[in-house]
Amino acid sequence: MVLTSVGKMVGLQKKTSGIRNICILAHVDHGKTTLADCLISSNGIISSRLAGKLRYLDSREDEQIRGITMKSSAISLHFMKGDQEYLINLIDSPGHVDFSSEVSTAVRLCDGCIIVVDAVEGVCPQTQAVLRQAWLENIRPVLVINKIDRLIVELKLTPQEAYLHLKNILEQINAVTGALFTSKVLEERAEKETENESISDTATGDQIYDWSAGLEDTDDSHLYFSPDHGNVVFASAIDGWGFGIEHFAKLYSQKIGIKPAVLLKTLWGDYYLNTKAKKIMKGDQSKGKKPLFVQLVLDNIWSLYEAVMKRDKEKIEKIVTSLGLKIGARESRHADPKVHLNAICSQWLPISDAVLSMVCNKLPSPLDITAERVEKLMCVGARTFDSLPPETQELKNAFMKCSSEGTAPVIVFVSKMFAVDAKALPHNKPRPLTQEQIAHRRELAKQRHAEKLAANQGKELSEKPPSENSFEITGNTGDMKGEEQHLTGQVEIMTSKAMKQEADNKESFIAFARVFSGIVQRGQKIFVLGPKYDPAESLHKLSSQCSATNDLPLVPHMTCCTLENLYLLMGRELEDLEEVPAGNVLGIGGLQDFVLKSATLSTSPACPPFTPLNFEATPIVRVAVEPKHPSDMPQLVRGMKLLNQADPCVQVLIQETGEHVLVTAGEVHLQRCLDDLKERFAKVQISVSAPIIPFRETITRPPKVDMVNEEIGKQQKVAVIHQTKEDQSKIPEGIQVDSDGLVTISTPNKQATLSVRAMPLPEEVTRLLEENSDLIRTMEQLNTSLNEDKKTHEINQKTLDRIKEFKQKLEQNLQGRKWRNAVDQIWSFGPRKCGPNILLYNFEGYKRSVWQCLGNAVKEVSKYRDFDNSIVSGFQLATLSGPMCEEPLMGVCFTVEKWEINTVGEMLSTSSQDSGERDAIEHKQNEDTTLTSGCTDEVCSVNEHQDSSQSVPKSPEKISKHKGEVLLADCYGPFSGQLIATMKEACRYALQAKPQRLMAAMYTCEIMATAEVLGRVYAVLSKREGRVLQEEMKEGTDVFIIKAVLPVAESFGFADEIRKRTSGLASPQLVFSHWEIISSDPFWVPTTEEEYLHFGEKADSENQARKYMNAVRKRKGLYVEEKIVEHAEKQRTLSRNK
């Protein structure tokens, strides 16, 4: 097909109804990029012979080497269907789990997606993940079942078996869609029920319960994939063929004489053709007949493959002539039968026609955006659409119309920033010269040549005898001029070269965006809205009509910028555009200083920021990075900033230790980020630390059995006394620890005493706290604003309902005697006030709750009021770094059982009777009291420090005298600092009084392997502390699916090792799943006789938890208890001289 010009594309961009924004989603290696190649070749951008080999959209070198896609890239294609023209903006996305964040960025910009599934492997974990992402973004999917040639060539299935296998795959995919749909319907039903309850509470009379789930009433037929709906294409992208059943329905309706509509309904399903009666009958399997799909479709494809693979020339010629195709001599004589096959199939059933016509028929244009999706995009967090300001709600119409009028507000969403070599930008590309430019250059060359000749002549003149002196002088001056010109020319060339190099080295960032409303023009001024921007606040300051050109007051999370360049994204190429109407995907240049990763751009300040993208993978793999030469530090810092901007999922942070840390989603992702940093962004040599593996610390209930599975308390204790002595020596003086783990500790100035106990939280509670960390953060913000008496914007009812529900769940899970009233006594969560640990208060005379925002706030003035924040801060510090290896705590509940303050006020009241006597004593001790009574605050504080060693209550008394009132100590003074430190210590000792455990981060690991390499897979898993959860055989294949969990600490090099051991036949997919307690005690020593016999006195067999703990302590520079051999000697035998 002929290459489409940019002008044509620009024309098509204006017809919104003919635009389709689609992305290709699938599991890794299911053939997305090959399919994209086939579609691109239909536009003449690449040769159809190279489709599948070139992988045009994998433009990075490492993508080509590894053979996987690592970033989503877009291309615009032109498609003619009858007399209707379509513009298809196609985005190819990665399938590897490490790059699932790229899928999220692609899905947000699209209205539909093509799900590609391998006909052999079927539905894989990542297929389910991408279906879920498409579902969450409300975009409509269509299905391509790819690699059908593998069923013929590799698995050697018969057409009947292949039909049953394909049917099975369709059922699996529809099951995933069905599960997503069901959960959505049930959620909506639950919401309606809560609304109805609030209404029905007021009504009296008998209540009638409706037990139906609401699934019967909702129509979900349009959601499922079925060939007769026209949303499934069967294909083999590598061989260049694909078809939907409507192609065959048209073909056979003429031959058999049955209406195409009837054939469409019956070609897929249990129908067969009764050739005598020329009727289609139902029930093929019961009568042992061939289904229509096998008879009319698969048999033909199988026979074609068989003929070509066996080189049956007569049969091939017969097929080719009957189909009316023209095959070139080069293809038919080619040594590889696949080439011949490709030539026949790509003419008979071109895949691009089948897929693109399905896209145009079944996927919506930007005009068909649903109201539900618009509302979802506009509501950030827990806000409902109705709670948005009216100006903002009006913008919904602009979204729905998707209008490209000049008056419509411009709304653009940037889903990611990507780096492009400055050379690749259209204005830096070498262009072919015009006739005028060529003529101009010819003139310049002639001039230079003439000057050279003149200079040479001058030299010859100067060599002549001195009689012609006058000539000599003129010649010389000319020569000098020539030299000067030459020098300046050289300098110019040098500077221009340097500038060029600089431009070449510079990375340009282009925003990957979509216009949702209005027309975006080059040079237009526009607002950039950050994710925390709130239109309700800014509309008080600005009018909704103001534009980005006006001088505006400062509004938080909002800046103005100019759109410098607009680009049409064409895979590896970029084309300049002047304006882009609504509904199109585009690249925007010049936003790198305004947008970090994603943003919303609009000309209207009433526009809300879009909902943040849902990322499936959580970044967990951390490494510390430093330059090999310390002088390169600034380049590294700059490079890391650029990397952070260029990758949607990576996190860059500087730790307290000063290390620069990269947090990535997995090993492949980490490798890509490091390569980018070295070669593109920092361009310096870097050294990378071993991965920093995160752990958590927790406590458990005392174990019932010991390490040799004997019940504790029944055996003879050998070393228990010795161990308890050791334990007591750990605890410093002044700290009391009861037998049940209650720790009592006083502040250094003896003014306050705390008693703290630590308890393990039930697993369900820890999980609940982790899942609701955002909600806890919201609660914290609401409570803070209530405490400061700020007029908060009306708390959203939906948020309140969620908080109530969260509280109920906590109450359900925290039941039993020891958790009585625990939920009402929650003082804080931690670390960072939203973590999976709880602080409770259980002492008299204090009331403060995290549930203030539910309306039960208690304003109370008590002696504890000024210092309660110090206790909370101490708890936050204690939960942020535990005693074992300074890692955060998880699943621990601290209860403050007692808190006594000998406050200044109390001391004054008790000492008021004998104040006279004390004054006299004071006068004797210190004759300068007159000075102190009239002194300034500064002097007082100095005196206070001097006297504090002699008697504690004396100095505060003096202050109170000169102030003339009872003064409670300052809540930011030294006392609050002592309280924080004491609380932290108390929490640490309370933790150490219980059995401590480490928690490791765990990956779920899915491996697909054939039976012959199964043993090796298990060997690698068990070597790396993995645990197999289930193993099942995939129906119709010899492939096993193994599901296992694996500690993150053991996962480095795991994928490579499995590939090596299985000769590349098995490859794992690792996704972070949960935290799990490591069962072994890191501080365990043998205490009973049985343990001594089993483990020996030193018990130096490898303890996994201790190994991890010491590794982390070493990395952090903490003390590690290691036995070093002092007097190592050779073993000497008695008969020495042998």
pLDDT band at 1134 (very low <50, low <70, confident <90, very high): low
pLDDT value at 273 more than 50 = yes
Going from the C-alpha of 910 to that of each of 907, 954, 1018, the distances in angstroms are 5, 13, 74
Which among 84, 75, 149 is positioned nearest to 118, based on CA atoms? Answer: 149
As a whole number of angstroms, the distance between CA 378 and CA 987 comes to: 44
CA distances from 66 to 150, 358, 672 (A): 22, 31, 11
With a cut of 90, say whether residue 94 has pLDDT above it: yes
> What are 383-437's pLDDT values in tens digits?
777 778 888 888 888 888 887 787 889 999 999 999 998 887 887 777 777 888 8
> What is the pLDDT at residue 856?
59
Q: What is the DSSP track for 890-916?
A: -SEEEEEEEEEE--HHHHHHHHSTTHH
Q: Which two tokens stand for residue 500?
A: 């060029």
| Residue 683 in this model has a pLDDT that exceeds 80 | yes
d(CA 55, CA 961): 85
% the chain with pLDDT above 90: 38
pLDDT of 30 > 90? The answer is yes
Task: Report d(CA 100, CA 72) in Å as an integer.
Answer: 10
Show the tokens assigned to 449. Answer: 């040549």
Q: Which of 575-584, 617-626, 892-901, 931-940 has the lowest mean pLDDT?
A: 931-940
CA angle centred on 375, ends 370 and 377, rounded to 5°? 95
Asked if the model's pLDDT at residue 998 lies above 90, the reply is yes
- Residue 933 is predicted with a pLDDT of 35
Label residue 1135 by pLDDT band (50, 70, 90).
Answer: low
pLDDT at 831 over 60: yes
In Å, how far are 21, 76, 588 from 565, measured between CA atoms? Answer: 21, 18, 6
**Residues 224, 171: Cα–Cα separation, whole Å:** 9
**Average of per-residue pLDDT across 196-208:** 52
Q: Are 500 and 579 in contact (CB under 8 A)?
A: no
Residue 729 has a pLDDT of 46
- Examine the pLDDT at 488 and tell me if it is beyond 70: no
Q: Which DSSP string do the residues of 766-804 spell out, in sequence order?
A: HHHHHHTHHHHHHHHHHHHHHHTT-------HHHHHHHH
Please tell me the predicted confidence (pLDDT) of residue 1126: 60
Give 663's strand partners. Answer: 622, 651
- Asked if pLDDT for residue 854 goes beyond 80, the answer is no
Q: In angstroms, rounded to a whole number, what is the distance separating the alpha carbons of residues 985 and 894?
A: 12
The answer, yes or no, to whether residue 724 has pLDDT greater than 70, is no
| 40-54, 164-178, 632-646, 1097-1111: least confidently modelled range | 1097-1111
Q: Reply yes or no on whether the pLDDT at 334 is more than 80.
A: yes
State how far the Cα of 72 lies from the Cα of 59, in Å rounded to an integer: 10
Range 939-965 average pLDDT = 36
Poorest-pLDDT segment among 39-48, 1043-1052, 1079-1088:
1079-1088
Answer yes or no: is pLDDT of 112 > 90. yes
CA atoms of 194 and 797, how far apart (whole Å)? 12
Identify which has the larger pLDDT, 47 or 854. Answer: 47
Residue written as tokens 């030469």?
629
Residues 224-259: tens digit of each pLDDT: 999 989 999 999 999 999 999 999 998 888 888 888
**Omega cis (within 30) before 831:** yes
CB burial of 986-1017 (b: ≥16 within 10 Å; e: otherwise) equals: bbbbbbbbbebbbbbbbbbbbbbbeeebbebb
Q: Which residue has the tokens 């906590």?
A: 810
| pLDDT surpassing 90 at residue 697 | yes
State the CB neighbour count (10 A cutoff) for residue 665: 28
In tens, the pLDDT along 67-91 reads: 999 999 999 999 998 889 999 999 9
Distance between CA atoms of residues 960 and 958, nearest Å: 5
Mean pLDDT lowest among 538-552, 653-667, 873-887: 538-552
Q: Where are the beta strands (DSSP E) in 712-850?
A: 735-737, 742-746, 752-760, 826-830, 837-841
Q: Is the pLDDT of residue 469 over 60?
A: no
**Residue 906 banded pLDDT, cuts 50, 70, 90:** very low
When pLDDT is averaged across residues 265-273 and rounded to a whole number, the result is: 87
Amino acid at 877: L
- The Cα–Cα gap between 707 and 1093 comes to 12
Average pLDDT, integer, range 644-658:
89
Average pLDDT over residues 1081-1108: 76
Question: What number is the average pLDDT over the span 1059-1079?
Answer: 89
> What's the one-letter identity of residue 601?
L
Q: Side chain identity at 818, as an amino acid letter?
A: K
Two structure tokens written together for 536: 């309700």
Determine the 3-state secondary structure of 421 from DSSP: strand
Find the mean pLDDT for residues 1049-1075: 90
Q: What is the pLDDT of residue 701?
A: 86
Point out the least confidently predicted range of 201-205, 249-253, 976-980: 201-205
The mean of the pLDDT values for the chain is: 81
pLDDT score recorded for residue 939: 33
pLDDT confidence of 848, banded at 50, 70, 90? confident
Helices (H) and strands (E) in the chain, counts: 37, 34
| Contact residues for 570 (Cβ-Cβ < 8 A; gap 6+) | 45, 75, 76
Backbone angles phi, psi at 507, to 5 degrees: -95, 130
Decide: helix, strand or coil at residue 849.
Answer: coil
User: Is residue 919 pLDDT above 60, yes or no?
Assistant: no
Res. 944 pLDDT band, cuts 50 70 90:
very low
Amino acid at site 546: C
Q: Is the pLDDT of residue 313 over 70?
A: yes
Provide the pLDDT confidence category of residue 958 given band limits of 50, 70 and 90.
very low
Cross-strand bridge partners of residue 1121: none
Percentages (nearest 5) of helix, strand, coil residues in the chain: 45, 20, 35
Residue 859 to residue 987: CA distance in whole angstroms: 28
Q: What is the pLDDT of residue 1097?
A: 63
Question: For position 713, what pLDDT does the model report?
Answer: 60
Candidate from 19-33, 214-228, 404-418, 444-458 with smallest mean pLDDT: 214-228
Tell me the range of 314-318, 332-336, 818-822 where mean pLDDT is highest. Answer: 314-318
CA atoms within 13 A on the CB side of 441: 6
Nearest CA to 749 among 962, 904, 571? 904
- Does the pLDDT of residue 952 top 50, yes or no? no
Task: For the chain, give the number of residues.
Answer: 1138
- Whole-number Å distance between alpha carbons of 756 and 884: 19
pLDDT confidence of residue 719: 46
pLDDT surpasses 50 at 966: no
Residue 734: pLDDT band with limits 50, 70, 90 = confident
Q: Enumerate the β-bridge partners of residue 528.
A: 559, 601
pLDDT score of 630? 93
Q: What pLDDT shows up at residue 463?
A: 55
Q: Which of 560-574, 864-878, 931-945, 1101-1115 has the weakest average pLDDT?
A: 931-945
pLDDT of residue 162 exceeding 70, the answer is yes
> Which residue shows structure tokens 């005697």?
817
CB-based contact 23:36 (threshold 8 Å): no
* pLDDT of 445 strictly over 60: yes
Using the predicted structure, report yes or no on whether residue 530 has a pLDDT greater than 60. Answer: yes
| Strand residues in 399-524 grouped as ranges (E) | 411-421, 507-517, 520-521
Per-residue model confidence (pLDDT) at position 405 = 80
Q: What is the average pLDDT across 756-768?
A: 91
Segment 137-142 shows an average pLDDT of 92
* Dist CA 1092 CA 1087 (whole Å): 7
